Amino acid sequence: MRFELILLGTSGGAPTPDRNCSAAVLRTDTTDVLIDCGENTQRQLLKAGLGMGKVSHILITHLHGDHYFGLPPLLSSLSMQGRTKPLSITSPLHLRPRLEALLELDQYPLKFPLSFHTVHPDGLVQLPNIGQLEAFAFPLQHRIETNGYLLRERPREANISKEAIAEHGIPWPEIKKIKNGADYVLPDGTVIPNAQLVTQPARSRSYAHCSDTVFFPELAGYVRGVDLLYHEATFLEDMAEDAAQKGHSTAKDAARTALAAEAKQLVLGHYSTRYESSAGHEAEARTVFPNTVAADDLYRFSVLPQRRHWSELPRMFALQ
């Protein structure tokens, strides 16, 4: 089953010739979620070979333009393309009036229902499920209210063996109990342990998105044990003072969070436009957290079931 991250933009503040502004898509077999929507996101979706057909929710981390200025043209295009499915947007306060003012200028009402949900938690807070994903929001520390988001597969039931059903003559009313962990008692009183009746499903895979933020120790607790962690890395450590003043992290800061959180894999992005290459960010972060990749636009990362390891698809595959 698919659990894949596609980074549509890895530049911080403004685009560059090689990098778009912030946006990412988490794809599963049943649900896609768009996280942030910097300018030109809809073109990046086209370049990545992605559509918005399975996207029912957009999560916006905060209201700096490089994270949401791509929303008005994207919404307008979806309407012109005939979308009728509802779309929900979750963000900190004040997004709705800003978007509605721009869409009003377009003078073409959207053809699909659009709903807004405002959240800026003071801890890890569960949001309504998004398809087969559990969704959570948590606070980041930036210059304005900023959310991080955690997306996790909903727990699956255990699978009961067909052979066990036949061998022990298990009636269907008992099957649900067994899937939920119960043993089965035969008519003669013999107890068949649950472990002999079921196979456990793969553990739920998870992804956390930490956009603009300074380093703070509590962040690791919100994303503890996550399979795939995206974390901004606007600056290198020689500009740590500037990073703190501007509400951003260094690559080393991101690695410290990943290490404390016991994350499986760290992905860096949101680089300052002063850097032509992200190689320095990757090298710096790996001194603290070796399992780090400094991503470029259209990089893809998959968390595989069962073995629960990540796989990075090279850039040339991301472009296909």
Tokens of 273: 């436009």
The answer for residues whose C-beta is within 8 angstroms of residue 198's C-beta and 6 or more apart is: 158, 159, 160, 161, 164, 178, 179
The strand pair at 3-9 and 23-28 is best described as antiparallel
Burial (CB count <10 Å: 0-12, 13-18, 19+), residue 187? exposed
Residues with catalytic function = 66
Alpha carbon distance 224, 68 (integer Å): 27
Q: Rounded to whole angstroms, how far apart are CA atoms 160 and 176?
A: 9
Q: What are phi and psi of 191, to 5 degrees?
A: -95, 125
Amino acid, single-letter form, for residue 102: L
